Structure 1
C-alpha cells in the first residue's frame, strides 16, 4: 500500500489505518473488559466478497454499535471464531469498511470528524434536522456516495435512522438494494443501549452482556421484489418487524425506554 494512496472519498489509507488501530485500542475494553460481547456469525464474515456488501442492523447508540462492528469484522477476518480476543487483529485492518451516518452528527466536534475519517458516508437526513421534523428530498449525491462505497468495499447502515426501537425502516435502503444489488447481511445487536449513553461515547453501566448476531445473507430478487417486499424482509431479518411486538408487550417496552432515559452515566468508583 503506497503511503499516499487514497480511497474513493479522498481519505489517505495510511491515516485511516492508524486511526482504526488507535481507536480500536482505546475502545477494546468496552466490549472485552468492562462488558462482554457475545458474537455469532464470524464464519459469515469470512465468506463474503471484498466489496458490494451491505450490512443492515438495528440501532442502539450513535457510535458504539458501529465501533463494535469494526472490531468484530476485523477479528473475524483475522481468523477468530466469534471472539475479539487479542487485539492484534487491528494491526492490519480492512480499510474499505464504511458506515452511513447523518452529516450533522459527524460534523459536530473534532472527535466526530475523526470518526468520520475512519469511514463515514455522511448523508443529509430527509426527515429530521437540528432536532426538528423536516421533509426534504433525498440528495442524489448521497445515494451515489453509498454506491461508490459499495463499489469499493463494505457498507454498514441502520435503516431505521434512529436509536429508538421498533421504528419503521426508511425506504431508501430498499432503493439502494434494488439499484446496486449488494449482498445484504443482517446484523442484530442487543445490550448496547444498556451499556452506553445514547451517543455511545461513555460507559453507562458495567457488567452488561452484549450480543451481536451476524446472519446469513438475505435471499433477494433484485429485479422482481418490490420495495415493500424488501422492506419486510429487512424488518424480519433485523428483528424490528411490528409482529415482534406481540412477544414484547407495548407497556413493558415503553417502561423500559423511560427507564433508559432516566439513567445517567457516572464515573465508576471501582
Structure 2
C-alpha cells in the first residue's frame, strides 16, 4: 500500500490500518475472553461484493456493537467460520468499511475522534442534539457522504438511531436504500447491553453470552417498494418490529428463561 494513499474522505489508509489493528488488539478480549461472542451467518460476508453493501442492525451500545462487527467481518473475510479466534485476521483489515454515527458523539473526546478516523461517517441527527429533542432538516451532504462510502465499500448503519430497543426506524435509511440501491444485509445483535455500559467502552459484566446473527441479503424492489414498506421490511429483519413485543406463551417464557441463564453474570 502506498504510504500516503487516502480514502474518499481524506483519511490516510496507512494510519487507518494501524488504528484498526491497535483498537482490535485492545478490544478482542471483550468478545473472546471476558465474554463470549456467538456468531451465526458469517459465511454470508464472503459472498458479498467489495462495494455498495449496507448492513442494517439493531443497536445496544454506542461503540461495542460496531467494534464487534469489525472483528467478525474481518475474521470472516480471512476465512474464519463463525469465530474470532486467532486475532491475526486483523493484520490486513478491510479498510473500505464504514459506520454511520452521530457527529455530536464522535467529537466528544480524543478516543471518539480516533474511532471516527477508523471508519465513521459522521451525520447530524435531525431529532436530538445536546440531550434535547429537536426537529431539523436532513443535511444533504450527510446523505451524499453515505453514498460516497457505499461507492467505496461497506457501510454499517443503526437505523433506529438510538440504543433504546423497539424504537421506530428512521425513514432516512429507506431514502438511502432507494437512492443508492445497495445490497442490504440485516444483522441482529444481543448481549451487548448487558456486557457494556451505554457507550460500550467499559465492561460492565463478565461471563455474558453475546450474539451476532448475519442474515441473507434482503430482496428489495428499489423501484416500486414504498419507503414505508422498506422500513417495515427492515424492522422485521432486525427483529425490532412492534409485533415482536407480543405476549409470550408459558412455553416461550420457559425457553427464554433457560437461554437467559447462560447470559447471567457469572461471579
Query: Is TM (by shorter chain) over 0.5?
Result: yes
| Aligned match of 1:258 | none
Matches within 5 A, 1:1-270: 1-247=1-247
2:14 and 2:203 map into 1 onto residues whose CA distance is: 29
2:15 and 2:40 map into 1 onto residues whose CA distance is: 31
2:196 and 2:185 map into 1 onto residues whose CA distance is: 25
- When the two structures are superposed, what TM-score results if normalisation uses the length of structure 2? 0.93
| Aligned match of 2:256 | none
For residues 119-163 of structure 1, give each alpha carbon's deviation from its aligned partner in whole angstroms, at most 9, with x where no partner exists. 000000000000000000000000000000000000000000000
SS in 2 for 1:169: coil
SS in 1 for 2:99: strand
| Aligned match of 2:257 | none
Say how many residue pairs are matched. 250
Runs of 5+ consecutive residues of structure 1 not aligned to the other structure = 250-269
1:42 shift after superposition: 1.2
SS in 1 for 2:118: helix
1:147 and 1:78 map into 2 onto residues whose CA distance is: 26
1:166 and 1:248 map into 2 onto residues whose CA distance is: 16
Residues 5, 145 of structure 1: alpha-carbon distance in 2 compared, 3 angstrom cutoff? same
Residues 139, 29 of structure 1: alpha-carbon distance in 2 compared, 3 angstrom cutoff? same
Runs of 5+ consecutive residues of structure 2 not aligned to the other structure = 250-266
- Please give the root-mean-square deviation of Cα atoms over the aligned residues, in Å: 1.0
Moved over 3 A (4+): none
2:136 and 2:101 map into 1 onto residues whose CA distance is: 17
2:16 and 2:129 map into 1 onto residues whose CA distance is: 28
1:166 shift after superposition: 0.1
Residues 107, 212 of structure 1: alpha-carbon distance in 2 compared, 3 angstrom cutoff? same
